[in-house]
Structure 1
Amino acid sequence: MVYRYESEEDAFEDPEPGSDLDVLGAGPPPPAGPSPSRFPAPSLPRPNQLVLPSTQPPPPARVSAPIAAPRSQVYTSAQPVETPARRSGGRLWQVLVGGAAVLVLLALCGLGAAALLADRDPAPQPTPTYQPDAAASAPAQRQDLDSRDTDQAPLTAKELFPGKELKLADGQAAYQVLKTQSSGSCAVAATDEVANLLTLLGCNQAVRATLRSPGGDHLITTGLFNLTDKVSAERARDRIRQILDDRRGRFRGLTAGTDTDALTSAPARVGWQVRGHYLAYALVVRADGTAVRSGDTKIREILFDMIEVHLSRGVLQRRAETGTAEQPTPAPTQGSGSQNGSGDDELPGD
């Protein structure tokens, strides 16, 4: 059965015999196909369109005369049938909803993965900035002064007293260097049991000088004894006080002309200190040969200048900084006392 569009404007009755419409039927039978119409036939329905079969029997055929093609009819069901457009719209909506759900799920998965990577990755390191060569800028390693095994360079008079004047600080008056001496025998700088003690403990060098104080009122002999190691230097330090107190030995002053004889004849004030394997000492007398008072602050200043400032912080510090030791020597230890410069080596009381 062929279907076409039908409306009220296209409705007509069967032609009466003898009418104009009937003449059309007098000729040969019409060709197979849809009957002519005043309206163009619409496109045929899609094959998947659901069409219900007709429940009415076809009209009876007329035998007496040829008849026009029967009116075509469109059959519909009593309830709306799902059309392709409706099904397409529903499927499109489902696709959109499903796609949105998939996108949301992927976004959540991406956020979770990013959080895991952020927790797993280490914190970003700052970009290193240019640094100068550490080897070129680092100071030289320190010389170990605790033993002659690690501090083998011998002392020299020029190292201890490089010029004719010794200026310890800016704005401070300089000491005048009158004479220097370097000897491989420590006995030249001490007498009796002090000399024997130094020799027994391995002293192989005595480097000293005689100086005049800035005001000219005092004469000083000061220098270093080079002992085997720190232990031997500390033993010498501890024993010297007892020897001086018992008047069984003394430090010698170094004369530098007739006007310096007080260094060997006048009562003296002495001080000593250990740093590494060195024993630093100083002997101070009044230039006029008079007795030294125990509370003389000027002499104390001179002892501090010679032993602590010049020899320890100056000479030995420079020696420590030019070597290869890894650690500095501990803080130096010191002592002081007084001695008599006369031939019998008697000691005046402090």
Structure 2
Amino acid sequence: MRYASPLTLPRSPTRGQHRRPAHRHLRREPLSTTQLFTHGLAGLIVLGIVIMLGVLIVADERRAPTRLASAEIDARIASRAVDPAPLTEAEVFPGGSAAFAVTGTDLTADCSLAAGGALRTTLLRHGCTQAVRAALTVPYADYRITAGMLNLPDTNSATAVGDQVRYLVETGDGSFADMAGTETGPGTPILWRTRGHYVMYCVITGPSGEPVAADAPAVQQLTSEVLDTHLHDTVLIRRAS
């Protein structure tokens, strides 16, 4: 019996072997001076931004309690009962600053010496026990300035005095006096603020005592620096805190 010879299958062609490319070791060229400088500058800028943000956050956190504690500040200086420590010259006018120079100070228990006309009796009637005054000069104007702080029994008394000051100055029946006790004439800028049981004020005249324009830019700057920034923000807020 004849068997058919097995078929010989053709061999598939051998596929070529693929070589794996050899790994090339790339040499890093050293950074140029310009590149190093650029990288360093970018790092400094990022660091500066981070520091600035940190400072702003800390400053905001420090300011926040003052904003939130406004009612508490008012409560702490609402009356002499809760704020019994008397004022001193060193507290109210400790010395000169970048905004003004102090040329003389005075502390008296006779508040009538700080006023003229009907304002004298107003201060006595409402129980003023202290007047701390100072003669000031400012570098941007040739003014004769008297600033002061009055110590009243409570907030209601201080507010009543403030209201009377407005009325008396408008009618010419009373006003604050300068350091020498001289009553100021009509048209003299008389500026005042009240907070708690205190009245803060400022009298501004020319170098010989003559009136100055109440709307002069220097008067507005002086009001901000002496009454608002110094007497209120620095002295009163520090006392309440």
The TM tier, using the shorter chain, reads 0.5 to 0.7
Aligned with residue 207 of structure 2, among 283, 287, 292: 287
Match of 1:144 among 65, 69, 76: 76
| Residue aligning to 1:96 | none
The Cα RMSD (Å) is 2.6
> Using a 3 Å threshold, how does the CA distance of structure 1 residues 176 and 276 change in structure 2: closer, same or farther?
same
2:191 to 258, 271, 279: 271
- Quickly say closer, same or farther: Cα 1:317–1:244, change in 2 above 3 A: same
**Aligned-pair distance for 1:268?**
2.2
* Maintained 8 Å contact 1:273/1:307: yes
- List gaps (5 residues or longer) in structure 2: 1-64, 67-71
Residue 308 of structure 1, CA deviation: 0.8
Q: Give the Cα separation in 1 of the matches to 2:132 and 2:139.
A: 22
- Counterpart of 1:146, as a letter, is A
| Structure 1 pair 182–198 and aligned structure 2 pair: CA distance change class (3 A) | same
2:94 to 150, 159, 162: 162
Cα 1:189–1:290 shift into 2, 3 Å: closer
SS at match of 2:193: strand
Off by >3 Å, runs of 4+ in structure 1? 263-267, 288-291
232, 248, 251: which one aligns with 2:173? 248
Give distance in 2, aligned partners of 1:294 and 1:156.
Answer: 30
Equivalent-residue separation in structure 2 for 1:267 and 1:246 (angstroms): 11
The one-letter code matched in structure 1 to 2:227 is I
How many aligned residue pairs are there? 172
Q: Which residue of 1 aligns with 2:221?
A: 301
**Alpha-carbon deviation of 1:294?**
3.3
- The 1:265/1:201 distance shift into structure 2, 3 A limit, reads closer
* CA displacement 1:130-172 (0-9 Å, x = unmatched): xxxxxxxx99x86710000000000000101112x123xxxxx
Q: TM-score, normalised by structure 1?
A: 0.46
Q: For residues 106-133 of structure 1, what are the alpha-carbon distances to aligned partners after superposition, in whole Å with 9 as ceiling and x for unaligned?
A: xxxxxxxxxxxxxxxxxxxxxxxxxxxx
Cα deviation 1:35-76 (Å, max 9, x = unaligned):
xxxxxxxxxxxxxxxxxxxxxxxxxxxxxxxxxxxxxxxxxx
Give me the whole-angstrom Cα distance separating, in 1, the residues matched to 2:172 and 2:185.
15
Larger Rg: 1
Q: Unaligned stretches of 5+ in structure 1?
A: 1-137, 168-173, 322-350
Tell me which residue corresponds to 2:107: 182
Mapped partners of 2:160, 2:211: distance in 1: 30
Specify the alignment match of 2:235 in structure 1: 315
Q: Distance in 2 between matches of 1:145 and 1:238?
A: 19
Q: Is residue 119–residue 165 contact of structure 2 (8 Å, CA) maintained in 1?
A: yes
SS in 1 for 2:235: helix
SS of equivalent residue, structure 1 residue 202: coil
If the length of structure 2 is used for normalisation, what is the TM-score?
0.65
Find the counterpart in structure 2 of residue 203 from structure 1: 128
- CA separation of 1:314 and 1:214: change in aligned 2, threshold 3 A: same
Report if the CA contact (8 A) 1:156-1:182 is conserved.
yes
SS of 2:77 mapped into structure 1? coil
Query: Aligned-pair distance for 1:289?
Result: 4.2
Mean Cα displacement is larger for which, 298-307 or 287-296?
287-296
